[in-house]
Structure 1
């Protein structure tokens, strides 16, 4: 298993390249650029902590998936993806939320720098996995937003969890914020395409409204598909139990 020092060495080169590219191309706040420049090592270290936290969360869900596959003869997880926010994305959020330009403020106020997305087969799997995950002693739930029961106006559906997970260092441990998103295949399919279409430029306002309505209607249809597939699985499970 790779230790923290290995992760630092492998990640720092990439981080340095991204920082240099960002500082050449970004048109965002000079104050944020100055923060990065003056806090090179602390920022690199913080990013390595997020990478470690993501691996911890991924491992927890892979273990749960393995256990469920043995107990219920099926894997509830279709895929697990992770990401660390780009410098541009962090900078935009700093500006939008008017966050003080300090390392401590970034770490405390931007709680989705590290993210893990878990794509499940059925809606019921989402809540069962979330419950099992949150029952673990070293996971602290900070915030939960259920966009499945309460979709966004756009039609977006997903279960969002902000958690803290400990990573164990050489002499101590550190708690790190991670955002976990759980969604079905249908929810993920819709969200991925909506994200691509949303950033298309030069669309007239009238057409943009029509597109937004079409996307919402597609979200409703995908939710109905999830319900039907869930019903089919329930019928099959009921038949097998007889």
Structure 2
């Protein structure tokens, strides 16, 4: 009977630890999502443009975590899981253009309470299957009622075209139970290259439009300055004529 009480006590303690463990990752997601939303709103209000098209987040289920622990042959200790599985909390950001990806990455990395642990650039160095994206592993502080914890979050930043390709590739991959025919693998690789070409084309157009807009803004500013100078010049001429009299 006493052994049963001890076992129940240990079970409750373990359950509480797992709950707090998962809550920390949820709170970390909330923190990073808030930071990204602030950046998005700032750009929409101040710059009338946002480098963020869409944001989604996910938290691995305990079952998914255990499966990865088993595949990697890690210990079941929570501290070991925390230090070795850094994608329990994940955020995916889609951007209109490639340049937005790097600008947004820089903005995230400049946040004082964010520590960048790892960066993988699959845009400059795509995976063999054609996958492209920029991956960041960041560590963020979480303040609980009785302690401060530091939690890993994986941030993936990609263009709309990259996200479209990756989503379909993932569905096809699992439809064939990870046994995709070689012919389809080659076609997927070609599709990834086409998506990359589209991104480069749209980036070029984006830069040309931005240059045209900047030139027009400069012309408007010059014209406005001339108008302002004329408004000042007319009263000054009138005053000079009075003084001459």
Normalising by the smaller structure, the TM-score range is: 0.7 to 0.9
Q: Is the 8 A contact 1:69 1:76 kept in 2?
A: no
In the superposition, the TM-score normalised over structure 2's length comes to 0.79
What corresponds to 2:14 in structure 1?
A: 39
Query: Which ranges of structure 1 fall in alignment gaps of 5 or more residues?
Result: 1-34
Tell me the secondary structure at the aligned position of residue 77 of structure 1: coil
SS where residue 194 of structure 1 aligns? helix
Range moving further from structure 2, 222-231 or 86-95: 86-95
Between the aligned partners of 1:180 and 1:83, the Cα distance in structure 2 is 11
> SS of 1:221's equivalent?
helix
Alignment of 1:201-212 (within 5 A): 201=176, 208-212=181-185
Residues matched between the structures, number: 206
Change over 3 Å in CA distance of 1:62–1:202 after alignment to 2: closer
Relative to structure 1, is the Cα distance of residues 202 and 85 closer, same or farther in structure 2, using a 3 angstrom cutoff? closer
Shift of 1:171: 3.7
Equivalent position SS for 2:93: strand
User: Quick check: 1:221 aligned with 2:194?
Assistant: yes
Q: Which residue matches 2:32? A: 57
Match of 1:233 in 2: 206
CA shift in 2, pair 1:124/1:191, >3 Å: same
TM-score after normalising by structure 1: 0.80
3-state DSSP of counterpart to 2:175: coil
Q: How do residues 21-40 of structure 1 correspond to structure 2 at under 5 angstroms?
A: 39-40=14-15
Deviation at 1:165, TM superposition (A): 0.5
Establish whether residue 150 from structure 1 lines up as the match of residue 125 from structure 2: yes
Mapped to 2, the partners of 1:144 and 1:36 lie a distance apart of 38
Aligned to 1:88: 63
Q: Which runs of 4+ in 1 moved over 3 A?
A: 35-38
Deviation of 1:36 (Å): 9.0
Give structure 2 stretches of 5+ with no counterpart.
1-9, 216-245
Give me the whole-angstrom Cα distance separating, in 1, the residues matched to 2:11 and 2:164: 35
1:72, CA displacement in angstroms?
A: 2.8
Max Rg structure: 2
